[in-house]
Amino acid sequence: MGNLALPDYATGVSDYNAGLSGLTGEIGPVPRKGLATIFFPKIDWQISAKNHATFEVNRTRWSSPAGIQTQASNTFATNSFGSDYVKDTWGVAKLYTSISQTLTNEVRFQYGRDFEFEFPQSPTAYEQANFVNPPGYTKMASTWASPRSSLVPLSPMSAALSTPTPSHGLTANTASSLA
Tell me the per-residue pLDDT of 52-62, one tens digit each, with 9 for 90 and over: 999 999 999 99
Band (pLDDT 50/70/90 cuts) for residue 40 is very high
Q: What is the pTM of this model?
A: 0.59
User: Considering the chain, what is the average pLDDT of its residues?
Assistant: 75
Whether 169 and 91 share a structural domain:
yes
Q: Please indicate, yes or no, if residue 20 is contained in any of the structural domains.
A: yes
- pLDDT tens, position by position, 87-126: 999 999 999 999 988 888 888 888 888 888 888 888 877 7
Whether 26 and 53 share a structural domain:
no
Distance CA 94, CA 118 (A): 34
Backbone angles phi, psi at 37, to 5 degrees: -125, 120
Q: Please indicate, yes or no, if residue 129 is contained in any of the structural domains.
A: no
37 pLDDT more than 90: yes
Whether 85 and 167 share a structural domain:
yes
Whether 50 and 115 share a structural domain:
yes
Whether 47 and 13 share a structural domain:
no
Q: Please indicate, yes or no, if residue 84 is contained in any of the structural domains.
A: yes
Task: Please give the tally of structural domains in the chain.
Answer: 2
Q: Please indicate, yes or no, if residue 92 is contained in any of the structural domains.
A: yes
Band (pLDDT 50/70/90 cuts) for residue 73 is confident
Q: Please indicate, yes or no, if residue 152 is contained in any of the structural domains.
A: no
Q: Please indicate, yes or no, if residue 51 is contained in any of the structural domains.
A: yes
Q: Which domain holds residue 94?
A: 32-121+159-178
